[in-house]
Chain A
Amino acid sequence: MIRKFTKSALLLLLLALAEIATAQDGAAILEKVDANMSSDNRIFESSMTIHTKRGSRTITSKSWSEGNNKSFTEYLSPAAEKGTKMLKLEKQLWIYSPSTDRTIQLSGHMLRQSVMGSDLSYEDMMDDRKLNEIYSSEIKGQEKIGDRNTFVLLLTAKVEDAAYYTQKIWVDAERFVPLKQELYAKSGKLLKRMEMSNVIQVQGRWFPATVIYKDMLKQGDGTEFKITSIKFNQTIPPHLFTKASLKQ
């Protein structure tokens, strides 16, 4: 009887340890992902192609960002958007439109509107905290995406203010960059899907240069976001992250 009990207790202990080990592994993987994806600051040029029922259009921009709370974007093309600038400071967002020469501040529900008709909302662009800070992770298995082996991680929010309660993320087992990401509502409904490709190595870190965003509740083929050049940890003049720079 005692032996039977001891066996059961040991089994339970082993299972618990395995669970902890899996969680720790998940956290470790997420940490490596954050190390690749996050930086003190970055400067990048990108193109965003929005695919809709009526066709596709491409918007190019140059962005400067510092940590999670500061970013500045200037749109370079097409002509209709050229000169439009966007400044994010903490949880506030300002947009300058050269055609009206006016700056407007977005807040509340306006932040939930899509950016230039894309599948990204302003909020999506604003929330770029490290995954490890927001989610606890659990390895759910391994899968192949194309020819790459990936860990499938289930992320569950550990902070109250996470935008998405759960996420499923496929992390390249070798390079530790996400190759696919699914964002779920608290109810479990799939809201957004991101597919990353064209993984490049920049300054010793791996980074997916192409991301296809798809709002799963909306029609359309999603938005393709391509980084054409990126530099990490550069010197960015502090005045860039001020409202005055919007009109310059």
Chain B
Amino acid sequence: MKIALKLAWRNLTGAGLRTWLNVLVLSFSFVVIIWLKGIMTGWDHQAKTDMTQWEIGGGQYWHESYDPYDPFTLAGSHAKLPSQLENAMKAGDLTGLLLTQGAIFPEGRMMSVVIKGLDPGQSILKLPSRKLGTTASAIPAIIGNMMAKHSKLKAGDYVTLRWRNANGTFDATDVLITDIFSSNVPAVDAGQIYIPLATLQEVMLLPDEISLIVLRDKTDGWNEIPGWKYKSKAELTKQVDEMIKTKSAGQTVLYFILLLLAMLAIFDTQVLSIFRRQKEIGTYVALGYTKQQVVGLFTVEGSMHAVLAALLSAAYGLPFLAWQAKAGWTMPVDTSEFGMAIAQTLYPVYSAGLVIGTVLTVTITTAIVSYLPARKIARMNPTDALRGKLQ
């Protein structure tokens, strides 16, 4: 094996530019695959972290009628806090939100919104709820960046908010935008306005009623509460997993093309080597190598491209990947309109499993591609090979 490695190294370095071109293409595949997979992992990590911090907390309880995809359910989705959760509420381990539909009229334009009643004292979600505690001449309200952009509202602006209370009676008042928050989670921003929970409960004629409960952490034994549906963090982030799965599947095509290019180069190199080095093959056999040992020799030689590519990737890829992990990749298009939890700048996350997995996949693929043309050696006539006769 040692001789095989030595011979492979000598032959590869002897081939000069051809080897280094192959290695370069292969190393490019290494870096791109690791980087793209890192971006996906980073997005997954960022989306779930942002969703946890801004929207879902450590899990949620939904009123049994509540369906976030069906706004018609909002009117009937409210109940008092279940008694089982009262102590947790007092301890600040959960917070309740009341949801209802309404409309705002910025500059006389009507915009449908979901009005969310949020406890100003809550600390589970990153929403700047303390800004709802400020006393003002009008009801204080907060909105997200995207909502502010669409409604052309700024902090300090007054806007008329209209809703219908639990009995269906219209009510309207001016609210003061006390803060505009910036979040990567559209589910807490687009088409939404937050006002103090107690105020919304009062004007909706729904004292102490809430539509959903956000937990700080999952606590065992809370699963079954009549009238409420428990939604685990994993369930609430399922759509991120599905999105990333879809995106990863799309990226696999790119990986395949990159690897195909590199493997074609290696395959060609192997075919050419076997064609041009028939005398050498014959000599190996004459010196006592079995045909399988010669096949092994050529396979090692081909596979060594992957090893060299890994080393080359480390040389230029490590600084690049490290820089990307720090600086991130800023997407050239505005991501706020994507409708999913995605930051404008994604920071790739590389795990040991990702790096080892990629290196192993590429190396094994290279070994297989190197072996395939080398099988021809086993069918060669050693005498003819020694004479350099074309076979």
Q: Check A229 for interface membership: any CB of B closer than 8 A.
A: no
Indicate whether A187 sits within 8 Å of B173 (C-beta atoms), given known contacts A161-B168, A219-B108, A220-B108.
Answer: yes
A189 touches B72 (CB 8 A): no
Q: Mark A149-167, 1 if CB is under 8 A from B, else 0.
A: 0000000010011111100
A186 touches B108 (CB 8 A): no
Residue in chain A with minimal CB distance to B114: A109
Contact residues of B: prevailing secondary structure = mixed
Q: Which residues of B contact A219 (CB under 8 A)?
A: 107-109
Q: Check A114 for interface membership: any CB of B closer than 8 A.
A: yes
Q: CA of A219 to CA of B160 in the docked complex: distance in angstroms?
A: 13
A185 touches B171 (CB 8 A): yes
A-B Cβ contacts below 8 A, count: 70
Indicate whether A185 sits within 8 Å of B170 (C-beta atoms), given known contacts A109-B72, A109-B101.
Answer: yes
Smallest beta-carbon distance A112→chain B, Å:
7
A217 touches B71 (CB 8 A): no
Smallest beta-carbon distance B286→chain A, Å:
81
Q: Which residues of A contact B168 (CB under 8 A)?
A: 161-163
B112 touches A112 (CB 8 A): yes
Q: Check A245 for interface membership: any CB of B closer than 8 A.
A: no
Residue in chain B with minimal CB distance to A190: B172
Q: Mark A108-120, 1 if CB is under 8 A from B, else 0.
A: 1100111000000
A191 touches B169 (CB 8 A): no
A217 touches B105 (CB 8 A): yes
A109 touches B170 (CB 8 A): no
Q: Which of A113, A165, A218, A220 contacts B170 (CB 8 A)?
A: A165
Q: Which of chain B's residues 64-89 have a Cβ closer than 8 Å to chain A?
A: 71-72, 74-75
Smallest beta-carbon distance B241→chain A, Å:
30
Q: Which residues of A contact B171 (CB under 8 A)?
A: 165, 185-187
Q: Which of A107, A160, A217, A220 contacts B160 (CB 8 A)?
A: A217
Q: Which residues of B contact A108 (CB under 8 A)?
A: 71-72, 74-75, 101
Q: CA of A68 to CA of B52 in the docked complex: distance in angstroms?
A: 48
Q: Which residues of A contact B105 (CB under 8 A)?
A: 217-218
Q: Which of A109, A163, A191, A217 contacts B108 (CB 8 A)?
A: A217
Q: CA of A112 to CA of B162 in the docked complex: distance in angstroms?
A: 11
B112 touches A163 (CB 8 A): no
Q: Which of chain A's residues 163-184 have a Cβ closer than 8 Å to chain B?
A: 163-165, 183
Tell me the B residues contacting A by CB distance below 8 Å.
Answer: 71-72, 74-75, 101, 103, 105, 107-110, 112, 160, 162, 164-165, 167-173, 203
Can you report 23 A-B residue pairs in the complex whose CB atoms are below 8 A from each other? A107-B72, A108-B71, A108-B72, A108-B74, A108-B101, A109-B74, A112-B112, A112-B164, A161-B169, A162-B167, A165-B169, A165-B170, A165-B171, A185-B162, A185-B170, A185-B171, A186-B171, A187-B172, A187-B173, A215-B110, A217-B162, A217-B172, A219-B108
